[in-house]
Structure 1
Amino acid sequence: MDKECKERTEAMNPINRILLYFTLTVIVLSLAGGFSKPSSELYRNQVAVLMYHHVHDQDESSSTVTTGLFRGQLTYLQQKGYHFISLADFRRFMHGGSVPDNAVLVTFDDGYKSFYDNAYPILKQLGIPAVNFIVTSDLADPLAPLIPTLSKEEIGEMLRQSPGMYDFQCHTDNLHRMIGNKAALTSVTDDQGNPISGDAYNAKIAADSAACHQKLTELHGKPEAADAYAYPFGVFTKPAVQLVRQAGFQYGFTIVGEMATRASDPMQIPRINAGNPQIQPANLHQIIMRRIETVKR
């Protein structure tokens, strides 16, 4: 700094002098690369698989979120730098393929009609893929359940309008129910709760899984499309998993609240519950952040 410049600087009041030095420092550091753009990477080589059930503005339950909250959660995650992937992307990831940093897979259970009426329009507008695990026996009469479910026509429309974006997979054919206090999938009993033999149990699970696979094949028009299964109530056993796999399902989704990695057992893929009305957008981001701390980056 020359003598004249030094004299002018010393003549400044202290506040102006601090501002001048700060400005010069910013300029120098910027030219030297001292400030770089913050990285948008929160995590890599793992996927936050989110679980929802019902999106509705009148119904209320611990697994029902309003359309406003659903949109708010997804929009918030997009703004935070998350990247949403499809089930096809997730399959490739599990086989060694890459996914974007901060990858998220949106899943739904139960195949409620509210997916078509309320969730699908939001997902489509935001450009976010999703997979819905449906109870295929409900396809025969989708208005019969207490909460109406998706029809073949609605599923077909979504598959045609957005190929590869929206997928529909198995949540059993007719085992999404309880037998006494046990899930039908794992209960070694008949429908009246009477004990049955191991062979009879195996036949029960095999028949139900085969029925679900066949109905999904008819919906998609190709047998290889039916390959994912969500365990009802998140309950499963080793024998049940083996029987489901033998029916042709390669991926089993649980309700264990962790991140999915390539090291995850493909038949025990964890999911993070996002479909509780108490989970505000910022809370969902924080929940995911806490989960990645337990996974080797």
Structure 2
Amino acid sequence: MIVIIGISLLLFSLNLFKTNIVYKDQIAVLMYHHIYDQDISSSTITTKLFRDQLTLLKNKGYQFISLQQMKEFLDGAPIPKKAVLVTFDDGYESFYNNAYPILKEMSIPAVNFIITGSLEHPQQDIPKKMSREQIKAMLSDSSLIEVQCHTDSLHFKNPLGKAMLVGHLSADGKPETDEQYKHRIVSDTQSCISKLNPLNPAPVDTLAYPYGIYNHEAVDDIQEAGIKYAFTILTKMTTRQADHLRIPRINAGSPDITPAILEKSILRSIIPIK
């Protein structure tokens, strides 16, 4: 029995060297941040690379789905074979200027996770963020795009270097109590939801964890605040059995990820389903 299982896994691994594999009942959720031709960083790619990645996947028969289709899939609905969901973090203005025109041209749905605390003065951030007006214009122009939560004001780290979503704060030398921590997380999440509700036609019930960092308390607290789905940075495919509050994603937004490398990352992440 062990030998049979070992041979099966070996054959599956060898098949990953082929690029014509058709997977089903799972989703490759791609993660991007900044699409810009002048900046250089580990989370910034050029408009050409972004277009080339999407073009290769389209030409290879990958099917781009919406966030709503993913939610329905997790609840039991079917999805196309070779399903892909495009996600963006941080709400950069480069999404509006550079990514959105390409997505619209190619009829590819996407979701952008917005740090709503930046909506008041989006041009003061570096890189600049999208304004309410830009988000409204984009969402009224096309049903392909939606916005969801990336917290209101928790996309920072405390003085000890811990992500604000999981790190307790200190005031006057006294650490934050569990009750104070819970109130801060719930209130921040509710604030994010309330700011996006007037902008997003679909329900605002989804969050991407800042830095991909979370703990059990944070998961419970955002759920209490109204979040039903949350994305991590764990590199895996999303199956129907995925935890709705710990959905994995595959990084596609680094400058060294060529179209071919991105496809290999997807193929390596495929989960054998009986």
TM-score when normalising by structure 2: 0.90
In the TM superposition, residue 248 of structure 1 has moved relative to its aligned partner by 0.8
SS in structure 2 opposite 1:160?
A: helix
1:170 lines up with 2:171 in the alignment: no
**Residue 18 (structure 1) aligns with:** none
Counterpart CA distance in 1 for 2:168 and 2:116 is 22
Aligned residues of 1:41 and 1:101 also touching (Cα < 8 A) = no
**Residue 34 (structure 1) aligns with:** none
**Residue 77 (structure 1) aligns with:** 57
Residue of structure 1 aligned with 2:184, choices 197, 204, 212: 204
In the TM superposition, residue 132 of structure 1 has moved relative to its aligned partner by 0.2
SS in structure 1 opposite 2:50?
A: helix
**Residue 160 (structure 1) aligns with:** 140
Counterpart CA distance in 2 for 1:296 and 1:237 is 28
1:228 lines up with 2:206 in the alignment: yes
**Residue 144 (structure 1) aligns with:** 124
Counterpart CA distance in 1 for 2:229 and 2:173 is 29
Residue of structure 1 aligned with 2:248, choices 255, 265, 270: 270
Query: What letter is aligned with 1:291?
Result: S
Counterpart CA distance in 2 for 1:42 and 1:112 is 33
Query: RMSD of the alignment, in Å?
Result: 1.6
Change (3 A) 1:42 1:139: same
Residue of structure 1 aligned with 2:224, choices 220, 236, 246: 246
Matched ranges for 1:3-14 at <5 A? none
Change (3 A) 1:190 1:225: farther
Counterpart CA distance in 1 for 2:206 and 2:93 is 20
**Residue 165 (structure 2) aligns with:** 185
Counterpart CA distance in 2 for 1:192 and 1:183 is 20
SS in structure 2 opposite 1:42?
A: coil
Cα deviations by residue, 1:9-55 (Å, 9 ceiling, x for unpaired): xxxxxxxxxxxxxxxxxxxxxxxxxxxxxxx6610000000000000
Cα deviations by residue, 1:203-231 (Å, 9 ceiling, x for unpaired): 1101101100101112126xx61010000
In the TM superposition, residue 105 of structure 1 has moved relative to its aligned partner by 0.2
Residue of structure 2 aligned with 1:57, choices 16, 37, 43: 37
**Residue 130 (structure 1) aligns with:** 110
Counterpart CA distance in 2 for 1:131 and 1:290 is 24
**Residue 16 (structure 2) aligns with:** none
Counterpart CA distance in 2 for 1:254 and 1:113 is 22
Unaligned runs of 5+ in 2: 1-19
SS in structure 2 opposite 1:140?
A: coil
SS in structure 2 opposite 1:51?
A: strand
Cα deviations by residue, 1:55-98 (Å, 9 ceiling, x for unpaired): 00001100000000000000000111100001111111111111
Aligned residues of 1:179 and 1:191 also touching (Cα < 8 A) = no
SS in structure 2 opposite 1:178?
A: coil
Identity of aligned residues (%): 48
Cα deviations by residue, 1:136-164 (Å, 9 ceiling, x for unpaired): 0111111111110011111111111112x
Aligned residues of 1:172 and 1:229 also touching (Cα < 8 A) = yes
Counterpart CA distance in 2 for 1:64 and 1:168 is 20
Residue of structure 2 aligned with 1:48, choices 4, 28, 36: 28
Query: What letter is aligned with 2:181?
Result: Y
Query: What letter is aligned with 1:121?
Result: P
In the TM superposition, residue 190 of structure 1 has moved relative to its aligned partner by 3.8
1:100 lines up with 2:77 in the alignment: no
**Residue 273 (structure 2) aligns with:** 296
Give 1 or 2 for the bigger CA radius of gyration.
1
Q: Which has the higher contact order (CA 8 A, sep 6+)?
A: 2
**Residue 101 (structure 2) aligns with:** 121
